[in-house]
Structure 1
Amino acid sequence: MAPSPSPKIHSTLTISSGNLCFGSLHNIYPGASVPQVRGLPNVRYHAGGTVKVQSIEYNLPARNGTWNAFQLIETEWNKVVGWFLAHSDVDPEKEIDKILRVAGSPYEIDSGSSMNDDKTAAEGVFVVNRYDWGYHNRRSAEEVGESDEFADTGSLGFVDLAEAKTKVLQWKEHHPRERESSKGGAWLYLDAEYMFGRFGFDDEHTAARSFLFFSTDTDFTRTAFAGLEKTFRKAETPEETFERRLTEGFDFSGLQTIRGMCEGETRTKPPPPLAAECFGPYDPGEHILRLQDIDALRVHRHESQPHKNFLGINFTLIHLTEPIQEFADPWKETVLELINEIILSYLERSVLSRMGNQTQTVSVAAEVLFPKHTKAGELDAFLHRCFMQPHTEPINNFDATYVGGRIRAFLTSRAGNSTTIFDDECIAGLCRAIAFILTEALELANKNSRDWQHYKIVPWNVRLAVLCDDELRELLEFSKVYWEGRDRSLPLDETSSESREDHEALSSASGGLFARLLRWMGRGAAR
């Protein structure tokens, strides 16, 4: 039986000093001047303007001996799209599989951590991202004298500490694509920008034994070692990925996504309310909506017509032609709980506190509950109309009588010694208003489920729908379960392979002027 083919070795180098230096020439040069680093670096990212960066020395402990360099080839075009270096004692196929599992490309799903964290530290992987080196870090650039044209190329050096400064002086005289590797160091050239590096350390985390170098152009589902045909990752359709994640128990709660968008120096949304300002969790026996009620709201779409004469453009509401996603089976009960919790917190915070200690007429109650109703296009204007007028657009299979009874029971139980009487008209109005709020939220959840290629609605989509709509957030964010869940474990990090840019793009798309315009037109035509 013929032996299995092995990755083709492109070149070799020798580490003899116990340390290596890496990066652009102006990274390597200061890296050769600092005290020798020992062990796996313990660094974390911090804000560097509008991006996250980390302070590194471009100097790492490395296993002495022979290292092999392998080209990573894009299989369709036979183009070099990455490099992998490993000590000769290391199995390159197993090692690169581990690195891609722990901290692969931030542009590919299920690729582990995109930054140094507790998970990468535990696995002995050190992450270097695009803003950590190259022309993004210009320290010592003037001293080295490397031109900006050369520094801006997507290439780097990997060199024994003992020869680092000598190699810098040799390499700087040549264009990056013409720099030659030698026994003491390798120059790794890619015709790309945005460089990423991943160092693999030995089991004791004392010395590096491998290095993966790739760019934004490296697609590991279409990339293999030179000499092999098998790609590093299996290609999947987005729908296959989603179904696999459901089967594997991936965390679709969205909790870490909304926290990441609202907390820290690089947050893109206002911070959460204080814990003392939030309500719940409530006893499930107090929940007012059943799954069949929420399902009826999910499939409901307001009657709409094309809206004309806005900036001379005729608009047809996009959401009328979009397919309606179902709730994902493993997460239906969690969606049900989340929606009940945010609505109960709304009732307790916004309805009870505003109604006061006396019975209000329907018209007075509407003024109190929806104070911004005089502003055209505001959510309050539509809720005020729903509250005041019998529903002219019935929602199929939505049991308003049942839901109204549950609303009355909840408000009465929470009113305490209040003398407020919740008459039938007020309860019916509240039921209509809540139905409108939830159809809005579920329309947005339906949309972002497609944006994230989820194919079915999960709690992640509901949380993001609330977070990215300022008016819905103002009403519904004062729920402990919305921000914290109900003490469920998070087996996987749903943001591990989603970049900050993705979150910012989604935020802009959901909260931007055009999206607001479409939503405003939809509300205007709905009643």
Structure 2
Amino acid sequence: MATPTTQIMPLATFEIHSGHLCYGALHNIYHGASSDKVGGLPLPQEPIPGGTIRRHEAAFNLPALIGTWNIYALIGKYGDNMQIVAYFASHHSLDPAFEVDKILRVSGSPYERDSGSTFKDNDTAREGVFVINRYDWGWIDSRGGEEVQEAEVPIDLPYHFSTIGLVDFDTAKDFVSRLKFHRADQRDMVGEDGRGVWLTIRDAEYQFGRFGQLRDGFDFSQRHRVKTLFADEKPGDAELLGPYASGEYVLSRADVDAVKDHLSQDPLQPESDPFLNLNEGDTSVKEGLEKWWSASVDLTNQILLSFLEYSIVPYLHEHPHESPATATRLLFPDGSNDPQPGKEYNFTLAEDLKSRFLGNENNASSSSTATSDPEHAPVKARMRIFLEDRRVHPEEDFLESVCRVLAFIVKDLMEMAKRSSVDNERFGHIVPSDVFLAVMNDTSWYQHNLSRSRAFWCL
């Protein structure tokens, strides 16, 4: 993990263990801890209709990087005095100046010129900034108030003040139960277990909040979304295969890297997009993208192994010595015996698969054939072991044919997964949901033959 480039001493620290935090007034925090954990990046949001004020409703919890968080006091002039006018919290691995600059650029104080977006819109969603305005929290949103009866603050207090808490999701209710017996302006800054902070600003009547992209909590695999979209297409549990052990794989990471690196440049992907040139302050993003690419490679292997077990193993059991022509007719039907009759059939794919199986790559129409295949010898060796463990003994020529087919499938899936990543503004950074969608959004043959992996449906 890179050391932050800006060395600023924090005022306090707290810990996140659960991967989520709760925030706001005590009753907001209680509501956040009683709600389902929010997943994913912020979305554009219309204000709640009715009334004379514009407000948005929040769940009062958000994903947060696990580890130590630093609290910094932002000092400004109030009257003739210099005092705390805002607080900023940042994970210890990030450069606080970089993060502050980003938030101020995207959605700064609504009272400042050139402050960016002041509401939850497409700009804030794209930048991963969650916007909280004066009417979005505190006493305006009373949810949780009946459960949290706080110590009262004297009405004759000679100054205004604003307070909020930030606390680990798992200890949020305990945090609330301990602090509610103390006046809001007299609570200790750091919770007893170090997993929350209470922040107070004097001479402040209204409060605004901005959360940056709390990256570790974002589910880049988008499990819920993709599985919900295709729930009706999922095979029965008894038909699912695997998951396969880490030692069972067809293509190595280097094989898949080579395929991805040789993909053609998408015209929608800038050659020097800033997302591709991550600076030092985005180390956690780099690590996250690396993690999801590794998961995408693993998922691709699970898909290929399940295809071998679902299609190739039964074929070899029943037709151990059939001719290549028979194999192509049964494994890659021409539409007359489509395994999913009634659905749109991709005749081009069928011809491409046949051409690859028979070694006639020059006849294949897909652009995926333009790149070099992974080296066949080690792929064949791994595939032979997998098949022989299932009591089939393929001939060398048959293995060579299947290798060419798998190479075609992988390149085709990677092409489509890359387009999905561009559509989702990840510009070539492939995550498991891209691979999933490449299978399910393409052809009936892919859906039928490549969706048999249990890991595929668990992502």
TM-score normalised by structure 2 residue count: 0.42
